[in-house]
Structure 1
Amino acid sequence: MAHAALLLLISLSISVGPAVSFYGASMTFMPGNRYPDGTVEMHFYYRESGKLPCDPQVSWVCDSGDCGDLTYAEPDMTDQDHSGQILWCQTERHMTTNVSRDELFTLRGSGCCWANNVHDVREWMLRSLVDTRQRSDTRTTNRSPVSATIPNIRVPQNCFQNLHLLVHDPDGDDVRCKCPSCHQHPKIHLEEDSCTMSSNGTLDVGLHVFEFTLEDYPVSNITVMNGNGISSVRNPYNQTADADPTPLSQVPLQFVVEIQTPVHSCAPGVNRPSLLTPTPLHGDVQHAAVGGVHTITLRAQSLSHSILDFQVSGPWNMSTVLRNASQGVTEATLTWKPQESDLHHHVPVCFAAETLQSQSEMRCIVIIVAKSRVLSGEAEVFCENNSISIAVSKASMKGIDQNWLQLRDPTCSLTSNNTHILGTMSLNTCGTTMEDAGDFLVFKNEINSFENPNEVITRRSQVKIGFSCQYPKVASVSNHYINKKSDYIFTESSFGTFSYSFDIFTNNNFSSRVDPSLYPLEINLMDMLYMGIAAHSALPEVRLFVESCRATPDDNPYSALSYDIIKEGCIMDDTVEVYQSDSRMYDFGIQAFKFTGGYNEVYVTCSVILCAEGSSNSRCAQGCLQEHARKHKRDVSKETARHYITQGPFRVARQTQHSAAASENGGSLHISAGTGVFAGLFIVSMVVLVGLLVYNGKKTRAPDHMYLMSNF
């Protein structure tokens, strides 16, 4: 009897105990109608992830202010685990409220419990800050930042480098990711402006909980005004030196990352699926129309394990159809038909390819829903080795005024003739971005219409013409993207036209540049590599500042595997020696290295800024900024934007070849040259030594090598 009573008590305690299944949540909001009596309609879109069955665990309550009466729609399933293991699911819920006062209010959701995790986080708390007052720049209520994640992010322990989260703001505001609880993750660094997580150590195997808050700030000073004419000022984030400015809104982004056991290789497409073209790139913005069918094509490859599915976080009525192709390639077609209730909504869609053992990188895009499709003209794109040209037919866009069109960088101008609107830009100017699409490098730009910010109405159609050139990765290494020409030309209103050159030199005299015909440059490990950056400007009083230099194993400067040589103006590598650093030149040397894991090439990308000489508040004047140092207010009118310049590749010479060698006192660097008897004996001895090291290394090699080898 006592035994039966004990079993009954245990079963009751289990039945009333907390459900250990919460995987995270995200929220976005936007205003709807503003009624004559001043009432504002607000729409909230809330996604929640957990284990199946997918019962919603969050009940939102008014935490402060006048929240009105929240009306809930029934939650809809957006995606669930199809592997048969019943691991995860995600739902989306639409909530509305009518707020009678133009003021601030806060919604809160809390409960227990997170899924079992490494740091034993139990309780969860979600909070959204809403300001329904009218902005002076958009003349409407603020819209929150937009973000989301897939329900279940998985990364092998030795492959976690960077995790790029979606950051999008419908009003064009500056978004910051805050993580008050990240002290629990000492091995994680968060770049607040880009919402990028990076690791500076090995994370424990298991679930890791991340609780972020997304905040948006205006890009210039604005006011927010209530119905009584009382206004408050809202400042940009980087213009307040003494205190943190007040955000326009706050929304939660909470998720888990499952760190899995190490794999033998982190190379994309081997143990982890690799996303291929035409899969959209992370951060892409697409446009859809109410009632129209919008499709997204995903494509991935996995050579070691079969791709079972694509994990998708999207609107509830988005469907997925899979198709298996050859050579381990699987395609998915996502189809969505926006409804009237989706009008003006900026909808986040995140996805990743799934195998039983692993997962591809997560990418997220945004779909903007309009009443009708955005006007996009007929255009011809010409892809050259170092430039992109576009010719848009005027006949396809009748009534469009060229003067109201611009590239991503509005300082770059478009031209026209009788039949076409024309634009030409190099691969690294005018706002052109380079992104790694898996099997291709894609260079992207776009032509957009813009409006007069002082106008309330417009009679011009919205225009958006995205264009790109893609280069096969193999071809880019040997042909398209080897940086044989190191001139980067920019134009900015305060500095006019200026340029940078980034060159490799044969010795530490920096008088003889390496012949571009010798690229890719072959080097030996631990040779000194001499690099020089120079600024060229017609203005007499300018100063060059090298803010960062980062090495990557391929020509993607945003590669997950990277190594900081210079960061925030501070030298990070012990072998770096600066030979000359004056107002317009920066010459330095570094001991040659390679990346572990079978990579034999190194690219170096540096971010550079040009400042007005003598400005005490410019980035140049700040110099090296340690991570704990407070960033003071900068005079952005006295400096250019941050520009990125790339040099490489440097290829590690095979041990059977005679290649570059440099003496400790700055001897010359010889490229693929013959050597004397002494040099020959030296190389033989080095080969033997390397062989011994490699042999010993193989016996002790762990499967989780992901660190840079700065010496051999």
Structure 2
Amino acid sequence: MLLSVLMLLLVVSGAQTAYYGIVYTYSAGDIQQDALPTLNSFKLSFSSCEELDSWLCEGNCSVLDLYVIDESRGEWCQKEYIVNIPDTVLTILDAAADYLLLSANWTENRNGIVSIATAPLIDLRNRSDINKPNSSPQTTILPLLRVPSNCQRNINLLVSDPNGDNIRCRYAASPECETCTPPSVLSVSPSCILSFSPTNSTDEGPYAVQLVIEDFPRQIITLTNSSGSQEVKTSSDVLSKIPVQFVFGVDPAAPSCTEGLYLPRFLPPTPENGAQISSNVNQILEISISAEATQAVITELLFSGPRNVAKSSSGSGNFTLTWTPSAGDEGLSHTFCFVVQANFSSSVYQSDLRCVLVTILGSPTTTPVTTPVQSTITTFAPSSTTTPAQTTTTTFPPLFTPSLNASTLIPAPRPYYVLALNAKISTTLSLENDAGTITTLIKREMIKYGVPSDIIIELRSNGKVLVTVSP
């Protein structure tokens, strides 16, 4: 049933329009009464919202769950199409055998990409390690990213995986694309960093970018379908593939590549790229963004993120993204990506791309206070021979704050514990680029040993890990 929905979505006929890309992701929920709820998200981008509606809905979008994400008038419009399917089949859907063609054409580009194709791999067999189906890597991107031809630019895609799998990025290859010529001016690393180096004016213009993001298990797992048939997957086997397509514009050279002059520079309180933010269901989340460009005029903020996000401006260079997560967002993580755009004469300049990860917790119901906690800690001295455990009792400030009754401020009659964990973690992942993956893995391991599932893991700039627990 899921595959038929995908085909219905991506083979709808329509007028010839200017395509600016797609980001497809899927998330599988827990198996409930032999049903497998699967949330499929298609972020589609065209040269205008009207053209997108004409292509996707044949002019009538009232019957679809279609949401406007953002729009840059005269350039592009991004909308999200949501399909929530209570599927009952634990199966693998490999669209590479009959790859999905969109009946529109790419916007004009230098690398000669005309026809549109994607070939997602969707595996909904039950995983032995998490006892539910796989979810794909989660990310987003703006339909158009631009850089002056004389300026260096690295684009760090923020990609997270709900299952803590390894993530790799690459350019699409047949049959994941009709014409698979990658942009000659842009390289992509397996760690999802796109790199652009200064180039000649003859290379200026738009390029079609066709990426594929894959996830790989970190250990040997078994996948089981509805009939009981099983397949073993190792760390070198792909679990899913998602398409990420957008336009990369190489603009005429800027008078200066120094950020803050012509190219906007982010200022506090703008969150850093890769920052992790926690919010609660039905609680208003505000992301404040500030930028400056002393030699140009800042005109707008452009973003991509979940549906129903509002943006506002409180003066030149100061913007706010406002979003209220709903109950359906609880337990999910959403990627927000944004750029600030400025004009000078007839030229348009973009800041670098920043992305943050927002994790949605349950509704807050308690009021925290601070109180010291007495804890008994057992330490083991490292030695080549067995050494008796040494036990000490001491008083620490709390690693978390116990919940109190809001009306009486009397603690609930239950014990509170401080868990002191000293661990050395070795990884080939980057603290700068893979913070989301690292914290997800730490959280999964701690939950295995009985720590509550609502813990919040933060990776600090000094490499230390902060763990917050709400009892």
* TM-score by shorter chain over 0.5: yes
Deviations 1:195-232 (A, max 9, x none): 43344854711110011111100112211122343321
Is the CA contact 1:287–1:370 (under 8 Å) kept in the aligned structure 2? Answer: yes
CA distance in 2, matches of 1:434, 1:78: 27
**Correspondent of 2:253 among 227, 251, 262:** 262
Normalising by structure 1, we get a TM-score of 0.50
Pairs within 5 Å for 1:269-418? 269-324=260-315, 330-356=317-343, 357-372=348-363, 393-394=398-399, 396-397=401-402, 401-403=417-419, 410-411=423-424
Equivalence for 1:10: none
Is the CA contact 1:72–1:94 (under 8 Å) kept in the aligned structure 2? Answer: no
Displacement after TM superposition at 1:56 (Å): 4.2
Q: Quote the sequence identity (%).
A: 23
1:31 aligned onto 2:28:
yes
1:179 aligned onto 2:187:
no
Aligned length: 392
Is the CA contact 2:152–2:198 (under 8 Å) kept in the aligned structure 1? Answer: no
Pair 147,121 (structure 1): closer, same or farther in 2 beyond 3 Å: same
Pair 465,218 (structure 1): closer, same or farther in 2 beyond 3 Å: closer
Equivalence for 1:53: 49
Deviations 1:226-245 (A, max 9, x none): 234332111113xxxxxxx3
1:165 aligned onto 2:157:
yes
Is the CA contact 1:136–1:224 (under 8 Å) kept in the aligned structure 2? Answer: yes
Deviations 1:275-321 (A, max 9, x none): 12221222222222221111111111111112111101112211112
Displacement after TM superposition at 1:401 (Å): 4.4
Displacement after TM superposition at 1:157 (Å): 0.7
Equivalence for 1:231: 230
SS in 1 for 2:25: strand
Displacement after TM superposition at 1:126 (Å): 2.1
Note the residue ranges of structure 1 that are not aligned, 5 or more in a row: 1-15, 61-70, 238-244, 380-390, 413-428, 436-443, 471-488, 491-712
Is the CA contact 2:14–2:56 (under 8 Å) kept in the aligned structure 1? Answer: no
CA distance in 2, matches of 1:310, 1:392: 42
Larger CA Rg, structure 1 vs 2: 1
Displacement after TM superposition at 1:109 (Å): 4.5
SS in 2 for 1:141: coil
Structure 2: which amino acid aligns with 1:103? Answer: T
Equivalence for 2:5: none
Displacement after TM superposition at 1:403 (Å): 3.4
Displacement after TM superposition at 1:372 (Å): 3.5
Equivalence for 1:22: 19
Deviations 1:350-374 (A, max 9, x none): 1000113211001112222232369
**Correspondent of 1:193 among 178, 191, 194:** 191
Pairs within 5 Å for 1:546-695? none
Pairs within 5 Å for 1:13-162? 18-32=15-29, 34-36=31-33, 38-54=34-50, 55-56=52-53, 73-81=64-72, 86-106=74-94, 108-162=100-154
SS in 2 for 1:94: strand
Structure 2: which amino acid aligns with 1:26? Answer: V
Cα RMSD (Å): 3.7
Normalising by structure 2, we get a TM-score of 0.73
CA distance in 2, matches of 1:302, 1:403: 47
Displacement after TM superposition at 1:184 (Å): 3.7
CA distance in 1, matches of 2:29, 2:452: 24
Structure 2: which amino acid aligns with 1:279? Answer: T
Is the CA contact 1:189–1:199 (under 8 Å) kept in the aligned structure 2? Answer: no
Pair 32,460 (structure 1): closer, same or farther in 2 beyond 3 Å: closer
Pairs within 5 Å for 1:436-475? 451=445, 458=450, 460=452, 462-464=454-456, 466=458, 468=460
SS in 2 for 1:147: coil
CA distance in 2, matches of 1:466, 1:236: 26
CA distance in 2, matches of 1:197, 1:378: 46
Structure 2: which amino acid aligns with 1:35? Answer: Q
Pair 72,130 (structure 1): closer, same or farther in 2 beyond 3 Å: farther
